Chains A and B, each alone.
Chain A
Amino acid sequence: MVLYLLAVGLSVTLGLMRFVNLAHGVFAMAGGYLTVTAMARLGLPFLPSVAAAVVLVALAGMLLERTLYRRLYGAPILQQVLFSIGLIFVAVAVARRVYGPLAQPIELPAWLSGPADLGVGTFPAYRVFLIAVGAALALAVWATVERTRFGASIRAAVDNRRMAEAVGINVDRVFMLSFGLGTALAALGGALGADLLPIYPGYPNDYLIYFLIVVALAGLGNMGGAFFAALAFGIVDTAVRYALPDVGRILVFLLVMAVLFSRPHGFAPRTHA
């Protein structure tokens, strides 16, 4: 589910905005670090810390979008890839500098660290919380993109920038906001998921493959797909690793390859053949 939280943000920048942003994990990591800092240094409780981190990262994301990302819209994919690798390297170096190489533990509040009784059984409250937030976000993001004027503007702007401008959509602003949305979702995922996917300097590199798998399986820009792909991948990944700890990782990757071999466009409904 954390994967979903992370991947849905990537799906916004990558799928909707068509920007190959491998540096997505950077924003997630930043969200995690800021949350930890807010809790440890400023003594804020968990949720306000998360909220503050999300807002800060989103602002930083929009700033980066204004200054750097926007120059690469429509650029060859190689440039976008290199740019985001460069960003990853810088972020990793900064994170190591500021926080050191070790993972930052996150102190969960009491109401999340205990068990939760759902009537049908007890589950760890933290995970229940993640799943609930994930499902709520899935709905919210889907509704935003598919059902609101803003979502329509994003899609229009990506589809035909000049036409969108001609009918009075402020494309620059739309892109900035949707990039902000993508980074905010990343930060939220990083912050909330910090207990399951520990925050450490290697974060953007090591989890990159998982975001990419989810987005590729879902099909680009397919919000609903990202939800189910993350869910399916998470379940299969956990199950296979639990059952066959030695070769689990290999099997999972082979499985992903096999799926993409038979369906190169992921699970997205094919819009154009």
Chain B
Amino acid sequence: MTRRRALDGLVLAALAAFPLVAPGYLDLGARMVILALCAMSLDLLVGYCGLVMLGHAAFFGTGAYAAGIFAIRAWDEPLAGLLVGALAAALLALAVGPVLLRSRRLTLIMLSLATVLLVQEAANKLTWLTGGADGLQGIDMAAVAGVFAFDLFGRVAYWYAAVVLALAFLAFWTVIDSRFGQSLVGIRENEARMHAIGAPVGARLQTALVLSATLAGLAGALQAQVSEFVALNAVSVEFSGEILIMLILGGAGRRYGALLGAPVYVFMQDYLAREDPANWYLWIGLMLLAIVFLAPGGLVGAFGRVRNRSDRSDRSGRSDRSGSDRSGSAERSERLFERSERPEPPERSEPSVGSERSTVLCLRGVLKRFGSLNVVRGVSLTLERGARRALIGPNGAGKTTLINLISGRLAPDEGEIWIEGRNVTASSEASRVKAGVGRTFQITSLFRRLTMEENIALVVAEHLGVAGRLRPDRAVQARIDARVAEIMAILRLTEHGGRPVEVLPYGVQRIGELAVALALEPRVLLLDEPAAGVPRGEVGLIFDAVERLPSDMAVLLIEHDVDVVFRFASRVTVLVAGEIYAEGTPQEIGAHAGVRALYLGEAGSA
């Protein structure tokens, strides 16, 4: 944090020092500053939402035209013009957002290009308003705030743009550091999972688009005011590409990426335009190829890599290997000890007091067909508060399908599903999350590049309803941190909290999956083979974690390992060919002749 503050100071100092160092190049300086602002606004989408778009010139150009036209026809006060430009761009984003954000990848690129062409065509055709192909001329700005008149040397222009950039930078980082910013990163990393934890992904992206467009509009308005001219190519595909290149050159998703990329780009452009004007595009193209293959993180990334190499290697040496291994094995033996001392399966009876009211999940005659095949045939099942129920059965018995029906991923063809006394048969997956159904997936689906803490925090914030907050808030963050710490303590994840999920052992990732489900504070937790694919040595960790789940939570576990099932469950349901074949306590099921035959038969054939 202190280093960050120091670097921020350095950037400000560089901004302030430019007029002193290069007093003859203030025009160029203002251009650098404005384009840095524009590239930064694009970073919100490309770097943080992971949306690749080629349409940013549409917002920049809209801001420029709006500010220019406003100055000519209404009021020549620059600050008011900035607002008008930003507002116009935001309105455009509001209008096209719903169309653009429904698509991804190629279609998104195409639609963003189409947006640029639309605005360009409009600017081109509305000659009376925009000056058409000649550009918008005759802008004559008054003094900024009535005090600072634009001078011939561009001094006021430079400072004006620099101050706007500095303020925008602060605002930008407030948003990135907020819960909202984190949730955008979550969408970038794993959009499907964000849907699954009930985040309003579309609305978040729309907000991001509007914010980004606002900043781009601000940059466009600055450009119009400072140069007192708007060229038609401010809204062009080429310019969109250039903005993206500036951002990538500096480094997308990095604090100083845009601030570094835009000046370097402008400088190179200026230099090459003088030295070798015919081949400017050749050089910029080659440079782009070089970035893609040699320095995907841009300039900032390249610096960072050189600097980090040394300190990362010693950090991983310390916490990674020695840390987790030693404490891991120590913990394991401790747990073995704990287990051997523990009394035989505790007689955890499902609470029967007031059983009508404490029923959490109730299935009535649920039936699901895939084509002509009835996969689940009229299953009725009731789980009370705090139930520990295992669902076993041979492969293809319909266990996962049943979980998908309960969680709302599939809709039943017949029957009803009730959660906490509400009929949710027809409700969506997201609304069942709200109603209290949590689940883990057979295949781990976390935000891989975020740390375990960040993963859980994303979900906690979503659950507390604060994930859309645009400003960091200490009190809110403290609440989130406390809850994250609590969850990690329950599942003994604390030691893994600070590292990206993708580098953690698979067994720990599976516990992370459990933690994410737990963070939603479900009333019913559906565990679909939580130890699937986990190396033998780590399986114990997972079931230890499962046993530490809050005791008032109803848990439905699918598991093949009979030992685990008998240790965990107070009741066992056996599903065969889509029907409940038997149900009872582990002892009853263990003694059930049919079930034994089934399992021994299966074991014999395997």
Contact = CB atoms under 8 A, between A and B. Distances in A.
A264 B118 contact: no
Nearest to B281: A93
Given A220-B106, A253-B118, A260-B99, A247 B125 contact: yes
Interface residues of A, number: 45
A92 B281 contact: yes
Given A78-B46, A93-B279, A247-B125, A253 B114 contact: yes
A86 B280 CA distance: 12
Contact of A22 (B109, B117, B245, B282): B109
B252 A78 contact: yes
B284 to A, nearest CB: 5
Range class of the B interface residue count: 35 or more
Interface string B123-144: 0010000000000000000000
A257 interface: yes
Contact of B52 (A77, A92, A257): A77
Nearest to B253: A78
A90 B282 contact: yes
A254 interface: yes
B121 interface: yes
A81 B245 CA distance: 11
Contacts of A156: none
A212 B115 CA distance: 13
B288 A249 contact: no
Contacts of A230: none
Contacts of A253: 114, 117-118, 121
Nearest to B114: A253
Interface in A66-100: 68, 71-72, 77-79, 81-83, 85-94, 96-97
B106 A250 contact: no
Nearest to B96: A257
B34 to A, nearest CB: 22
A90 B285 CA distance: 5
B371 to A, nearest CB: 16
Contacts of B292: 72, 79, 82-83, 86
B590 interface: no
Contacts of A199: none
A257 B98 CA distance: 10
Nearest to A250: B121
Q: Is the interface of B mostly helix, strand, loop or mixed?
A: helix
A215 B282 contact: no
A78 B52 contact: yes
Contact of A82 (B118, B238, B244): B244
A258 B100 CA distance: 10
A89 B237 contact: no
B322 interface: no
Given A78-B252, A209-B117, A90 B99 contact: no
Interface in A183-223: 205, 208-209, 212-213, 215-216, 220
B109 A212 contact: yes
Contacts of B111: 216, 256-257, 260
Nearest to A92: B281
A205 B114 contact: no
B107 interface: yes
Interface in B316-375: none
A85 B103 contact: no
Contacts of B54: 81
Nearest to A220: B106
A90 B289 contact: yes
A246 B292 CA distance: 41
A261 interface: yes
A216 B292 CA distance: 25
Contact of A209 (B46, B113, B278, B281): B113
B286 interface: yes
Contacts of A81: 52, 54, 109, 244
Contacts of A57: none
Given A90-B282, A250-B122, A216 B110 contact: yes
A20 interface: yes
A90 B292 CA distance: 14
A213 B244 contact: no
B7 to A, nearest CB: 25
A78 B237 CA distance: 16
A71 B296 CA distance: 13
A72 B292 CA distance: 9
A86 B98 CA distance: 30
Most chain B CB within 10 A, of A68, A86, A93, is at A86
B99 A77 contact: no
Nearest to A97: B278
A88 B329 CA distance: 56
Given A77-B52, A79-B296, A216-B106, A85 B288 contact: yes
A253 B106 CA distance: 16
Given A90-B289, A212-B106, A216-B107, A249 B296 contact: no
A12 interface: no
Interface in A237-262: 246-247, 249-250, 253-254, 256-258, 260-261
A85 B244 contact: yes
Nearest to A214: B110
A209 B120 CA distance: 14
Contact of A213 (B114, B125, B284): B114
Top 8 A-B pairs, shortest CB-CB distance: A89-B285, A86-B288, A93-B282, A90-B285, A212-B110, A93-B281, A86-B289, A216-B107
Given A14-B106, A85-B245, A220-B106, 10 more contacts: A78-B248, A90-B285, A90-B286, A90-B289, A96-B281, A97-B278, A97-B279, A208-B237, A213-B110, A256-B114
Interface of A: 14, 20, 22, 68, 71-72, 77-79, 81-83, 85-94, 96-97, 205, 208-209, 212-213, 215-216, 220, 246-247, 249-250, 253-254, 256-258, 260-261, 264, 266
23 contacts: A20-B105, A77-B52, A81-B54, A82-B245, A85-B245, A86-B287, A86-B288, A87-B289, A90-B281, A90-B282, A90-B286, A93-B281, A208-B113, A209-B110, A209-B113, A212-B113, A216-B103, A250-B125, A260-B99, A260-B102, A260-B103, A260-B111, A261-B98
